[in-house]
């Protein structure tokens, strides 16, 4: 027995112990010192799944939901589970071919891997959903997943509500609300303005995923999850019945209607024509529909109530009168001896009336809308002797106009409002090299020249007159559900702007009397509603447009402003119908319908046929058809040039089509719309439009 | 009957039995933790034999029955049949060549039907251990002579060579652990030191740029000559020895290792070695690259994927771990082969540093106990056999755990008593119970 080797047992023990010490050291390093592996383990196995809350609902003043949520379905596919399915039958259901089917499956695999469900087709049409739900058991690997979608139950108020779309990098940079690519965000209208309130608070669920990226269960028994908090509902001042009537009246017309409650600044209705079906931008075809709307030259996506800029025409006159009254330049009894034309300046300004005494005092002048009277009033204001200087006079006048809420953005709770324009001395200095006098811009006195207002501003100035000097910033949202003390969003709309309360009430009364006469005996007798004292003013503004490089005079814009009832104003309205004709013909009756609808909650049956008549009238100006034809053909030509596919382009070369177009455009029989030559950039100069022709 | 009972239990080392029971239980529990799916009916699955943990329980029962049989056997039986069993083991290994079936890249498995399979290279450890103990305990063996040492090495390494021929490198390496037994019986420690130095040199060759390493080796030789200059003046041979060692080292570094990697080893093995030391391996030619890809089993994951995932799983355990069935990495299949070779991840993730240390301490306790048991043997055969068991178990544990924590290349060898697998569990059980039987008779058998 080699006993002498017994000491080696201790060496062997040492070797064993040493090895275990090395392992312990490495374990200590891995498990205690380094936290790299803990992070990597989380990356490996944790999937933070975002839970989207439902967006807030928007209600009108009668608690009717104008913008709501509904459920649509996405067809999801898990490529690894797709086995032994009847591809032909499936493709027949989906109305795709097998090549498309295969490419979509490959796309899905590429996007999320074969083990994760990926969208095969999003937002299924209801009938397709019904068909698929019946047969989904035949297709292992496919399933239907709910997805909340916005819905507009009244199909109305498209411009006000706006729509949601996928977030882009600009929005992600600008707002730190934690967006991720693919998230939906309000892209216009109230959806955009109140995004923060409507979006709610996203939740996070921690899921465990396995090595094949499948979600297998909740992590840590959901203790770390944060729940999603639903978006807050908006309560608006809107009256959806009034809104629908306004939209109906503007059908097939270019223009805008704004109705405000003067006491609160709450907007009762705001329509812009032409408009679009808001539901077309939520469903499965939203991309296509958006494309069509964006290419439409009549601009259905444009909210003309806040972005349309119009010369106010005669509707400016009450304001001009108030300025002159306040400056003490005229009194209620001041008159002007008008014989149908204002001749005090070098260029004559025509007046619609020539009978003597139609402008014998301010009340008559407003009722008859005498141009000479108000040209004179404007010149009095600019040449005001107390300022000794026309420049100061003009700037003082501008100060008044700005106080009426014109010439700058009002601050409505919709994005991208326009401010309109009120000219100042600088702009005339530029144009006339500082040699100008009150005659140069005398037509400002009748709401022409360089003054531009948005319909919203016109309605707001009516609120000012109705309120006798103060206004609240026009806005839609009255309150937000779950509002707390430190919610400051709506505070600015609670501020009373007493900008013109220094004008004595009796001066407002003088103007209001004149405006009431407009309806009783003046230009807007068509707008009379028995039992309601409406104060109103019509306007007919000349319009020009650059068409094919030429300045073309178009038909006049028909404008109407009013507030009612006179004693306790509850509604102030501004209406612009582009290229329609006299203010009294189109805009005035529209205003009276809206007043009647809002104040009596219905329209008398004998007047309903007038509503229908106006709604059915197509007043779309010809230039839209021309412009659309021109741009479509340009696109077709560009397409043909780019792709060599001339199928779209041939349509425009076909003589029959061109004759048809000529008839549509009421062109001279000898002139055909041009064939765009090889260079599509050439402008079709031959086009001539008879601007005065009516197409109805 | 009572007479009989006393003979079985008499002299039996109860602590070894307890350690065996504890380790088997931890094994079944870990396999359960690694493979249990939510919603499985636990009781039903344990009976059904369809899940891995139920099969491991069955292996445990089979192992227990075999253990009882071994305890009932006369200990003289093992000494008497040692050489015969060795021959049987070699026969089994040779049988593999015509009858093997290819499983996961190895050609070392014989299948009987679909359910049962046998890996002779694994089982053969028992026979080699017995035969080696028998040879070393012979009266006529003088282990001081190189010839005896060579014969002992041949006994230990013949199955290793057969194993390598069956593309089972991991199990082949296990047979090198028998050198520890020989060391205990008088083998010169230089052989172990040289062996260890050689492996350090090989690893250094891979890690360090060749010319730098040559310079370092030269510098070491220079320093050695400088320190030993007085002795060298007296004995010239020392100088020649140092120069000889230097030549061999540089030769190994320059020619032997590159040659071995290019020609002797399979490309996938080379890749695994590179992966373990954290270097990228660029296959020499397209064929080699293809072979590596095939060995990876069509998975797109990189070669170090296993080790990386295993380190993540263990590292994420922290101090006290996530708890049984709470580990996200081990439960959701991030670690491949985790019920067999990477079972330690389940413990590392579930019970953290504390649990791992406790678990490994049980192993250490087992090893120390075996060494204690070995040293109290009167018979050389029993002592050699006990050291053989300790060495093999130690080699398995250290390589397996080092592999999971990223200290050793991925060599597929299981963790004794814990990893899933019938052959492995039963082999280790047989080895341990033979030791217990021999130990029970330590007073009777003198040689």
User: Judged by CB atoms within 8 Å, which residues 319-348 of B form the interface with A?
Assistant: 319, 328-329, 332-334, 348
Which among A496, A477, A484 is positioned nearest to A413, based on CA atoms? A477
Instruction: Check CB contact under 8 Å for B315 and A30.
Output: yes
Distance from CA of A216 to the nearest CA of B (A): 8
Output A471 or A677, whichever has higher pLDDT: A471
Mean pLDDT (chain A, rounded) = 86
How many Cβ atoms are within 10 Å of A3's Cβ, its own excluded?
6
Domain boundary among B294, B318, B348: B294
Output A612 or B212, whichever has higher pLDDT: A612
- β-pairing, A349-350 vs A477-480, is unpaired
The confidence score (pLDDT) of residue B40 equals: 72
The pLDDT of B129-148, averaged and rounded, is: 88
Which among A506, A575, A476 is positioned nearest to A534, based on CA atoms? A575
Residues of chain A with CATH 3.90.1310.10: 49-235
B256: in domain: yes
Q: Looking at beta carbons, which residues of chain A come within 8 Å of B180?
A: 12, 15
Chain A contact for B390, CB < 8 A? Answer: yes
Instruction: Check CB contact under 8 Å for A19 and B314.
Output: no
pLDDT at A293 over 80: yes
What number is the ipTM of this complex? Answer: 0.87
Residues of chain A with CATH 3.40.710.10: 306-480+487-616
Domain check: are B10 and B120 in the same one?
yes
Q: Looking at beta carbons, which residues of chain B come within 8 Å of A208?
A: 328, 332
Chain A contact for B360, CB < 8 A? Answer: yes
Distance from CA of B432 to the nearest CA of A (A): 18
Q: Looking at beta carbons, which residues of chain B come within 8 Å of A30?
A: 311, 314-315, 348, 405-406
Domain check: are B322 and B271 in the same one?
no
The confidence score (pLDDT) of residue B6 equals: 52
Q: Please answer whether residues A544 and A551 qualify as being in contact, where contact means their C-beta atoms are separated by less than 8 angstroms.
A: yes
* Nearby residues of A682 by Cβ (< 8 Å), 6 or more positions away: A676
The pLDDT of A579-608, averaged and rounded, is: 91
B447: in domain: no
Instruction: Check CB contact under 8 Å for B368 and A16.
Output: yes
Q: From CA A285, how far away is CA A288, in angstroms rounded?
A: 5
**Chain A, chain B: beta-carbon pairs less than 8 Å apart:** 122
The pLDDT of A215-226, averaged and rounded, is: 79
pLDDT tens digits for range A56-75: 999 999 999 999 998 888 88
Window from A175-184, A294-303, A536-545, B249-258 with minimum mean pLDDT: A175-184
SS3 A92: helix
Q: Considering only the beta carbons, identify the residue of B333, B334, B353 that sits closest to A27.
A: B353
To probe the interface with A, which of B185, B190, B192, B328 has the most A CB atoms within 10 Å? B328
Chain A contact for B231, CB < 8 A? Answer: no
Q: What confidence tier does B388 reach under pLDDT thresholds 50, 70, 90?
A: very high
Output B283 or B306, whichever has higher pLDDT: B306
| Residue ranges making up the domain that contains B159 | 2-189+304-440
Instruction: Check CB contact under 8 Å for B364 and A16.
Output: yes
Q: What confidence tier does B409 reach under pLDDT thresholds 50, 70, 90?
A: confident
pLDDT at A694 over 60: no
Instruction: Check CB contact under 8 Å for A27 and B407.
Output: no
The confidence score (pLDDT) of residue A683 equals: 41
To probe the interface with A, which of B316, B327, B334 has the most A CB atoms within 10 Å? B316
Q: What confidence tier does B104 reach under pLDDT thresholds 50, 70, 90?
A: low
Q: From CA B158, how far away is CA B91, in angstroms rounded?
A: 12
pLDDT tens digits for range B111-131: 776 667 788 888 899 999 999
The pLDDT of B49-65, averaged and rounded, is: 90
Domain check: are B274 and B412 in the same one?
no
Q: Considering only the beta carbons, identify the residue of A6, A22, A38 that sits closest to B315.
A: A38
B446: in domain: no
The pLDDT of A277-288, averaged and rounded, is: 87
Instruction: Check CB contact under 8 Å for B312 and A40.
Output: yes
pLDDT-above-90 percentage for chain A: 40
Instruction: Check CB contact under 8 Å for A22 and B380.
Output: no
The CATH architecture one would assign to domain A49-235 is Alpha-Beta Complex (3.90)
Q: Which helix (H) or strand (E) holds A270?
A: strand A266-273
Distance from CA of A213 to the nearest CA of B (A): 10
Domain check: are B252 and B319 in the same one?
no
To probe the interface with A, which of B37, B136, B184, B312 has the most A CB atoms within 10 Å? B312
The confidence score (pLDDT) of residue B300 equals: 44
Q: Looking at beta carbons, which residues of chain A come within 8 Å of B380?
A: 1
Instruction: Check CB contact under 8 Å for B332 and A216.
Output: yes
Q: Which residue has the tokens 């004595």?
A: A504
Q: Please answer whether residues A485 and A428 qualify as being in contact, where contact means their C-beta atoms are separated by less than 8 angstroms.
A: no
Q: Looking at beta carbons, which residues of chain B come within 8 Å of A40?
A: 312, 315-316
Q: Considering only the beta carbons, identify the residue of B180, B189, B353 that sits closest to A31.
A: B353
Q: Considering only the beta carbons, identify the residue of A27, A45, A217 that sits closest to B334.
A: A45
Query: Nearest 5°: CA angle at A349, between A348 and A352?
Result: 130
Distance from CA of B296 to the nearest CA of A (A): 16
Output A441 or B11, whichever has higher pLDDT: A441
The pLDDT of A674-689, averaged and rounded, is: 43
pLDDT tens digits for range A453-489: 999 999 999 999 999 999 999 999 998 988 777 678 8
Domain boundary among B252, B269, B294: B294
Rg of chain B's alpha carbons, rounded to an integer?
A: 24
User: Judged by CB atoms within 8 Å, which residues 5-24 of A form the interface with B?
Assistant: 5-6, 8-9, 11-13, 15-17, 19-20, 22-24
Chain A contact for B176, CB < 8 A? Answer: no
Q: What is the pTM of this model?
A: 0.70
pLDDT at B395 over 70: yes
Domain check: are B121 and B230 in the same one?
no
- What is the distance in angstroms between the CA of the first residue and the CA of the last residue of chain A? 127
Domain check: are B308 and B427 in the same one?
yes
Query: Which CATH number is A306-480+487-616 given?
Result: 3.40.710.10
Q: From CA B383, how far away is CA A86, in angstroms rounded?
A: 71
Instruction: Check CB contact under 8 Å for B356 and A27.
Output: yes
Domain check: are B430 and B315 in the same one?
yes
Q: From CA A250, how far away is CA B118, in angstroms rounded?
A: 88
The confidence score (pLDDT) of residue A413 equals: 92
3-state helix/strand/coil string of chain B: CHHHHHHHHCCCCHHHHHHHHHHHHHHHHHHHHHHCCCCCCHHHHHHHCCCHHHHHHHHHHHHHHHHHHHHHCCCHHHHHHHHHHHHHHHHHHHHHHHHEEEECCEEEEEEECCCEEECHHHHHHHHHHHHHHHHHHCCCCCCCCHHHHHHHHHHHHHHHHHHHHCCCHHHHHHHHHHHHHHHHCCCCHHHHHHHHHHHHHHHHHHHCCHHHHHHHHHHHHHHHHHHCHHHHHHCHHHHHHHHHHHHHHHHHHHHHHHHHHHHHCCHHHHHHHHHHCCCCCCCCCHHHHHHHHHHCCCCCCCCCHHHHHHHHHHHCCCCCCCCCCCCHHHHCCCCCCCCCCCHHHHHHHHHHHHHHHHHHHHHHHHHHHHHHHHHCCCCHHHHHHHHHHHHHHHHHHHHHHHHHCCCCCCCCCCCCCCCCCHHHHHHHHHHHHHHHHHHHCCCCCCC
To probe the interface with A, which of B189, B315, B321 has the most A CB atoms within 10 Å? B315
Q: Considering only the beta carbons, identify the residue of A6, A16, A22 that sits closest to B367.
A: A16
How many Cβ atoms are within 10 Å of A95's Cβ, its own excluded?
8
Instruction: Check CB contact under 8 Å for B328 and A6.
Output: no
Domain boundary among B268, B294, B320: B294
Chain A contact for B309, CB < 8 A? Answer: yes
Report the number of distinct structural domains present in chain B: 2
Chain B contact for A215, CB < 8 A? Answer: no
Nearest CA in chain B to A28: B353
Chain B contact for A36, CB < 8 A? Answer: yes
Distance from CA of B211 to the nearest CA of A (A): 30
The pLDDT of B393-414, averaged and rounded, is: 88
B445: in domain: no
pLDDT at A209 over 90: no
Q: Which two tokens stand for residue A205?
A: 């669920």
Domain check: are B239 and B354 in the same one?
no
Q: Looking at beta carbons, which residues of chain A come within 8 Å of B333?
A: 210-212
Q: Considering only the beta carbons, identify the residue of A13, A20, A45 that sits closest to B328.
A: A45
pLDDT at A437 over 50: yes
pLDDT at A102 over 80: yes
The confidence score (pLDDT) of residue A467 equals: 94
User: Judged by CB atoms within 8 Å, which residues 46-105 of A form the interface with B?
Assistant: 46
Q: Phi and psi dihedrals of A558, rounded to 5?
A: -100, 120
Q: From CA A26, how far away is CA B357, in angstroms rounded?
A: 11
Chain A contact for B352, CB < 8 A? Answer: yes
Q: Considering only the beta carbons, identify the residue of A15, A22, A31 that sits closest to B318.
A: A31
Which among A43, A29, A223 is positioned nearest to B318, based on CA atoms? A29
Domain check: are B340 and B285 in the same one?
no
The pLDDT of B423-441, averaged and rounded, is: 92
């Amino acid at each position: 027995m080699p006993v002498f080797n017994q000491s080696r047992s201790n060496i062997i023990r040492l070797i064993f112990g040493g090895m275990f010490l090395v392992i312990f050291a490495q374990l200590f390093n891995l498990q205690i010192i380094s936290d790299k592996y803990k992070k990597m383990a989380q990356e490996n196995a944790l999937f933070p799944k975002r839970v989207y809350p439902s967006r807030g609902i928007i209600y009108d003043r009668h608690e009717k939901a104008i913008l709501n949520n509904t459920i649509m379905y996405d067809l999801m596919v898990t490529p690894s589970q797709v086995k032994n399915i009847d591809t032909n039958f499936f493709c027949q259901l989906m109305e795709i071919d097998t090549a498309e089917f295969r490419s979509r499956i490959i796309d899905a695999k590429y996007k999320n891997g074969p083990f994760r469900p990926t969208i095969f087709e999003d937002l299924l049409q209801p009938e397709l959903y019904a068909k698929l739900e019946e047969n989904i058991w035949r297709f292992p690997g496919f399933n239907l997943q709910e997805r909340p979608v916005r819905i507009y139950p009244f199909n109305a108020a498209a411009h006000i509500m706006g729509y949601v779309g996928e977030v882009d990098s600009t929005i992600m940079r600008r707002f730190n609300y934690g967006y991720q690519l693919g998230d939906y965000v309000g892209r216009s209208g109230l959806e955009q303005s109140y995004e923060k309130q409507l979006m709610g608070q996203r939740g996070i669920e921690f899921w465990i995923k396995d090595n094949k990226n499948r979600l297998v269960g909740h992590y840590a028994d959901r203790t770390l999850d944060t729940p999603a908090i639903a978006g807050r509902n908006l309560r608006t001042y809107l009256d959806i019945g009034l809104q629908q009537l306004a939209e109906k009246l503007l059908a097939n017309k270019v223009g805008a209607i704004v109705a405000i409650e003067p006491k609160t600044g709450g907007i009762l209705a705001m329509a812009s024509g032409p408009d679009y079906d808001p539901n077309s931008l939520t469903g499965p075809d939203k991309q296509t529909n958006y494309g069509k709307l964006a290419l439409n030259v009549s601009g259905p996506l444009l909210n003309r109530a806040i972005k349309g800029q119009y010369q106010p025409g005669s509707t400016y006159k009450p304001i001009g009168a108030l300025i002159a009254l306040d400056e003490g330049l005229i009194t209620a009894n001041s008159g002007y001896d008008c014989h149908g034309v204002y001749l005090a300046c070098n260029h004559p300004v025509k007046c619609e009336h020539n009978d003597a005494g139609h402008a014998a005092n301010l009340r008559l002048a407003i009722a008859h809308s005498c141009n000479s009277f108000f040209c004179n009033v404007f010149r009095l204001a600019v040449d005001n002797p107390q300022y000794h200087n026309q420049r100061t006079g003009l700037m003082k006048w501008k100060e008044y106009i700005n106080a009426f809420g014109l010439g700058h953005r009002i601050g409505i709770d919709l994005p991208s409002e326009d401010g309109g324009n009120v000219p100042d001395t600088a702009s005339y200095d530029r144009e006339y090299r500082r040699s100008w006098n009150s005659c140069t811009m005398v037509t400002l006195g009748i709401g022409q020249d360089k003054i531009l207002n948005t319909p919203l501003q016109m309605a707001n100035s009516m609120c000012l007159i109705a309120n006798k000097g103060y206004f609240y910033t026009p806005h839609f949202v009255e309150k937000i559900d779950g509002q707390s003390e430190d919610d400051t969003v709506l505070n600015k709309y609670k501020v009373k702007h007493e900008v013109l309360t220094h004008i004595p009430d009796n001066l407002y009364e003088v103007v209001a009397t004149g405006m009431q006469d407009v309806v009783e005996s003046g230009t807007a007798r068509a707008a009379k509603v028995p039992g309601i004292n409406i104060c109103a003013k019509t306007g007919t503004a000349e319009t020009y447009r650059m068409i094919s490089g030429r300045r073309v005079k178009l038909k006049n814009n028909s404008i109407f402003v009013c507030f009612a009832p006179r004693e306790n104003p509850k509604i102030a309205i501004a209406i612009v119908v582009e290229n329609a004709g006299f203010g009294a013909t189109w805009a005035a009756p529209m205003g009276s319908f809206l007043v009647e609808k809002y104040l009596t909650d219905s329209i008398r049956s004998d007047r309903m046929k007038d509503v229908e008549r106006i709604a059915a009238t197509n007043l779309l100006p010809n230039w839209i058809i021309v412009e659309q034809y021109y741009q479509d053909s340009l696109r077709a030509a560009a397409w043909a040039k780019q792709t060599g596919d001339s199928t779209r382009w041939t349509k425009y070369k076909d003589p029959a089509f061109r004759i048809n177009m000529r008839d549509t455009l009421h062109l001279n029989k000898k002139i055909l719309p041009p064939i765009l030559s090889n260079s599509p950039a050439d402008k079709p100069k031959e086009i001539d439009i008879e601007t005065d022709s009516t197409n109805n | 009957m009572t007479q009989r009972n006393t003979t079985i239990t008499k002299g039996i080392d109860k602590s070894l039995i307890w350690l065996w029971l504890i380790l088997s239980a931890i094994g079944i529990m870990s396999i359960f933790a690694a493979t249990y799916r939510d919603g499985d009916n636990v009781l039903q699955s344990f009976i059904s034999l369809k899940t891995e943990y139920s099969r491991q329980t069955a292996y445990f029962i089979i192992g227990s029955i075999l253990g009882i049989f071994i305890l009932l056997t006369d200990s003289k039986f093992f000494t008497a049949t040692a050489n015969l069993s060795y021959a049987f083991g070699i026969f089994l290994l040779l049988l593999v060549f015509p009858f093997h079936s290819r499983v996961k890249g190895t050609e070392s498995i014989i299948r009987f039907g679909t359910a049962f399979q046998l890996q002779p290279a694994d089982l053969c450890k028992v026979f080699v251990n017995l035969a080696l103990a028998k040879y070393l305990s012979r009266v006529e063996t003088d282990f001081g002579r190189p010839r005896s040492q060579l014969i002992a090495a041949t006994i230990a390494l013949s199955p290793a060579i057969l194993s390598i021929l069956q593309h089972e490198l991991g199990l082949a390496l296990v047979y090198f652990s028998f050198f520890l037994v020989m060391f205990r019986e008088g083998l010169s420690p230089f052989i172990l030191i040289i062996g260890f130095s050689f492996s350090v040199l090989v690893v250094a060759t891979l890690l360090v740029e060749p010319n730098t390493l040559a310079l370092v080796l030269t510098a070491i030789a220079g320093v050695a000559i400088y320190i030993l200059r007085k002795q060298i003046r007296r004995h010239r041979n020392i100088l020649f020895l140092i120069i000889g060692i230097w030549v061999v080292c540089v030769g190994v570094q320059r020619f032997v290792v590159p040659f071995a990697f290019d020609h002797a080893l399979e490309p996938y093995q080379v890749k695994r070695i590179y992966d373990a030391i954290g270097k990228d391996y660029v296959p020499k030619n397209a064929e080699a690259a293809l072979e590596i890809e095939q060995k990876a089993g069509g998975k797109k994951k990189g070669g170090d994927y296993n080790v990386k995932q295993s380190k993540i799983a263990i590292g994420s355990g922290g101090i006290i771990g996530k708890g049984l069935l709470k580990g996200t990495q081990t439960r959701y299949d991030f670690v491949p082969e985790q019920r067999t070779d990477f079972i330690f991840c389940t413990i590392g993730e579930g019970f953290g540093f504390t649990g791992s240390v406790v678990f490994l301490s049980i192993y250490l306790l087992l090893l120390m106990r075996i060494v204690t048991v070995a040293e109290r043997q009167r018979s050389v055969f029993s002592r050699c056999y006990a050291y053989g068991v300790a060495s093999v178990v130690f080699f398995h544990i250290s390589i397996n755990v080092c592999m999971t924590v990223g200290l050793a290349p991925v060599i597929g060898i299981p963790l004794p008593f814990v990893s899933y697998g019938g052959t492995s569990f039963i082999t280790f059980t047989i080895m341990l119970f033979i030791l217990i039987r021999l130990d029970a008779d330590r007073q009777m058998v003198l040689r």
